[in-house]
Structure 1
Amino acid sequence: MYILKKLIVLSFFTFAIMHVAVAQLPKEIQHIKFDDLGWEKLADKLYRKYVFGEQGMLALFKMDKGAKVPLHQHSNEQTTYITKGSVKVTMQGRDYIVKAGEVLVIPGNIPHQFECLEDGTLDIDFFAPPRRDWIDGTASYFGNQEVGKKELDVVAQLDVRPGDVAVSAEGRVFSTIHPLGSQQLQLVEIVDGRAVPYPNLNMQKNGAKASDATFDAMLGLIFDKQNRLWVVDMGLEFGKTRLWAFDIQHNKVIEKITLPTSIAPKGTFAQDVTIDEKNGWAYLADIADPGIIALNLKTKKATRFGKHFSLNAEEKDMIIDGKVVHFGGKPARVAIDPITLSADRETLFYGAMNGTGWYSIPTKVLRELNSTQLASDQVIKVGDKPFSDGALTDSEGNHYFTNLQEHAITKMDKEGNLSHIIQDENKLLWPDNVYQGPDDWMYISINQLNTTPAFTGGKDRGVAPYFIYRFKK
């Protein structure tokens, strides 16, 4: 399916996204699978999705009894067709009960409000011309609940691509430098908006040959509950996967674990990591041979869970700004990428970058792994997600995803509902990861990764600066 840039700016896409920002080109033919557009939650019991062309917009609402659309008006003519259930529309002092199979035409600029009368009501609306207040995110009749109202604060403006960002309990900000973008620095601390080599310059690769004494290809990083910083080094040149841990109070290395080559051979691309400090385990996501590596931090022994469909990329194109994203010379099919842990450390969550499913598996199964089949039987699909390079799970059980196709951060609540909490097609240019710091600040690394030679197949098309942003949760 080919989707044009800005085809849908505030709608869902791929099972799980609140507003699609794929810019449209007027007078172009648009072939869209409507079922693949996810649901945007507008209010309690009320969801919508929509598409639009040059002169008209088609919207589908689903709602349950008691759902309400507050009093509002717009210049667009609205044709409402109830296909299931019933609604009450109040306008000009009169109530109109519209039942399944009935149509109500509302001329422009007439104030009106809706109330759903039955569970499972489905309402198809057609607007002419398209609703610009939806497209631009300026509609305010739901109490300004449209996306994009949060402010992005600049934490750092960099001339090299950040990889992932992590924030300590006291608010210190750390970032890897993405190995697809630079071979000079690998790990930095952001100090007064500047990237300072961490823990020192001597540990960085500095363009030299990879060695055991220095970093090689750092990417995923995370703080555990003991405020220790853990960073996975993929060893793309060195040929070995290493896990580093730092005591940031004394700025020193406290762990350097080299994974056994039987579990993580040369070519392993373990780009994300999460830490279970309660049981003493680390979990790494490998996209090269799609799998989860479970590492016992005490014994240094590791096992691998693989050969399961949930770990693999789906056969769906990633489309950003109207273009199919390629990786390695063909349409990107990136497997398991973001992984997170529940607050009690008993559940691991994961999903493919090129995937719309978010899955879980008990960590006990991974710690005691002795049968791939038994582990596979424990995998559960939690819900739908956007194409994402990063994710976090908060203490309340909500999940947050970097939404690559829609330039957004998308939240999945405990009921599985998806909504954008922030969206900016000009600033969120490949949000690589999202991290929750103290005082409910959310941090995002922005690196335009799809413009690197690994994706373009040619020259680097990225335009510096690259950013680390934050916004209030």
Structure 2
Amino acid sequence: MLATEDYFGHFETVYLFYGAMPTGVSVSETGRIFVCFPKWGDDVRFTVAEIVGRRLQPYPDLATNTINPLNSTMSFISVQSVFADGRGTLWVLDTAAPNFSQPIQGAAKLVAIDLKTNAIRNVYTFAEDVVLPTTYLNDVRFDFRVGKSGYAYITDSSSKGPGAIIVVNLENGNAFRRLNGANSTSPDPYFLPKVEGKILMNRNADGSTSPFRSASDGIAISPDGKLLFFCPLTSRHLYAIPTEALRDRTITDFNLQYHVQYRGEKGASDGMITDAQGNVYAGDYENDSIRKILPNGIMETVAHDPKILWPDTFSIGPDRHLFVIVNQLHRQARYHYGKDLRQKPYGLLRIKIDELPAPSF
């Protein structure tokens, strides 16, 4: 018998999804698990949920997950990312762009929910020069040690316009785009993604095709909040930039690109996360793997398993496990001439890493 590929990494199944496809997961400091389901064509009954026992419950309630055209700032439209900040707040990033449409004007938002009361505490919306007609808000990280109320950093992973890092002053809601259209936030024009041995590209039901392109997506922040890591979705490269430079608007976008640090090739990643020791965890969706990049730049492979069919979002729980959503994103109909090749269930998995999440405060 011929030798076969070596797979490794011991995963536990946390939850199996038999309905809509999830993208985001976040585990709070008390162990509560939250997930989200953007509206990409599946039957999404609620776009944010909490896993309670063996069930999904709309979070914070079904009413908030029901689109209200008369009050779009207080209702979720299509949530791409959720993030528990370790100090009692769940942050919800609403693209307001179902099916990757142009964002509904004034409805794209960052929402803070108090985990003790399960009530919305703050809503941050964005001006038209921040959330563009091409913007797709993807993921978010926080640092509450700077400014009076802290800052948020959001990736714009647009497939049709400029990528960027959106910086939000949480004291007053002022937001601005940084690295707008820079090489580091843009798709790699020479990158040809290959998943399950096949080239991944847009293949429409009418037979037309186009390259798969998506801008800055994965994002992670160092334990001291001084360095932001990010990567385009269609790229194998890792970048970093001092957060102080991102916040300093006296640095022009042209000059800001010279503050970007190239951290080498890590594989093609969707989500990323940082632990308390400064290690960055990133998926490699081309190779069914999860990578760990140490502060000194050395890269290790944490897991290589055929079940890691498109590792999407990561979270680190108080139980020192790395949680990951695997959702077969590349098997969606948009990449296969209108034929949906996904096989339910999708999964939420976890693997022991013996590290806590990077603090944000």
**TM-score, scaled to structure 1:** 0.67
Q: Where does residue 112 of structure 1 map in the other structure?
A: none
**CA shift digits 1:218-251 (9 cap, x unpaired):** 0122122323111111111533420011111111
Cα offset for 1:214?
A: 1.5
**CA shift digits 1:191-220 (9 cap, x unpaired):** 113211000111113799993332111012
Of 185, 191, 204, 1:311 maps to 185
Asked if structure 2 preserves the Cα contact closer than 8 Å seen for 1:236 and 1:267, the reply is: no
Q: What secondary structure sits across from 2:60 in the alignment?
A: coil
Distance 1:207 1:432, change over 3 A: farther
Q: Where does residue 281 of structure 1 map in the other structure?
A: 151
Matched to 1:301, the amino acid is N
**CA shift digits 1:344-381 (9 cap, x unpaired):** 11111101111121111111111112311221111111
Matched to 1:264, the amino acid is V
Q: What secondary structure sits across from 2:76 in the alignment?
A: coil
Cα offset for 1:455?
A: 3.0
Matched to 2:152, the amino acid is A
Cα offset for 1:186?
A: 0.6
Distance in structure 1 (CA, Å) of the matches to 2:43 and 2:296: 40
Structure of larger gyration radius: 1
Q: What secondary structure sits across from 2:335 in the alignment?
A: helix
Matched to 2:195, the amino acid is I
Q: Where does residue 293 of structure 2 map in the other structure?
A: 412
Q: Where does residue 216 of structure 2 map in the other structure?
A: 336
Distance in structure 1 (CA, Å) of the matches to 2:294 and 2:191: 25
Of 12, 21, 26, 1:152 maps to 12
Of 359, 365, 372, 2:245 maps to 365
1:453 matched to 2:314? The reply is no
Asked if structure 2 preserves the Cα contact closer than 8 Å seen for 1:236 and 1:266, the reply is: no
Question: Gaps (5+ residues) in structure 1?
Answer: 1-128, 138-146
Distance 1:193 1:310, change over 3 A: same
CA RMSD of aligned residues (A): 2.1
1:188 matched to 2:49? The reply is yes
1:65-84 paired onto structure 2 within 5 Å: none
Asked if structure 1 preserves the Cα contact closer than 8 Å seen for 2:11 and 2:349, the reply is: no
Q: What secondary structure sits across from 2:110 in the alignment?
A: strand
Number of equivalenced pairs: 332
1:327 matched to 2:208? The reply is no
Asked if structure 2 preserves the Cα contact closer than 8 Å seen for 1:203 and 1:215, the reply is: yes
Distance in structure 1 (CA, Å) of the matches to 2:336 and 2:125: 32
Q: Where does residue 217 of structure 1 map in the other structure?
A: 78
Q: Where does residue 46 of structure 1 map in the other structure?
A: none
Structure with more of its chain in strand, by fraction: 1
Distance 1:225 1:259, change over 3 A: same
Aligned identity (percent) is 28
Distance in structure 2 (CA, Å) of the matches to 1:218 and 1:354: 21
Q: What secondary structure sits across from 2:330 in the alignment?
A: helix
Of 167, 174, 182, 1:301 maps to 174
Distance 1:151 1:327, change over 3 A: same
Q: What secondary structure sits across from 2:73 in the alignment?
A: coil
Distance in structure 2 (CA, Å) of the matches to 1:209 and 1:457: 37
Asked if structure 2 preserves the Cα contact closer than 8 Å seen for 1:282 and 1:294, the reply is: yes
Asked if structure 1 preserves the Cα contact closer than 8 Å seen for 2:13 and 2:347, the reply is: no
1:205 matched to 2:75? The reply is no
Q: Where does residue 93 of structure 2 map in the other structure?
A: 232
**CA shift digits 1:162-202 (9 cap, x unpaired):** 11100000110000113224443110001113211000111
Matched to 2:268, the amino acid is F
Distance in structure 1 (CA, Å) of the matches to 2:18 and 2:57: 11
1:164 matched to 2:24? The reply is yes
Distance in structure 2 (CA, Å) of the matches to 1:322 and 1:273: 31
Question: Gaps (5+ residues) in structure 2?
Answer: 99-103, 204-208, 354-361
Asked if structure 2 preserves the Cα contact closer than 8 Å seen for 1:359 and 1:381, the reply is: yes
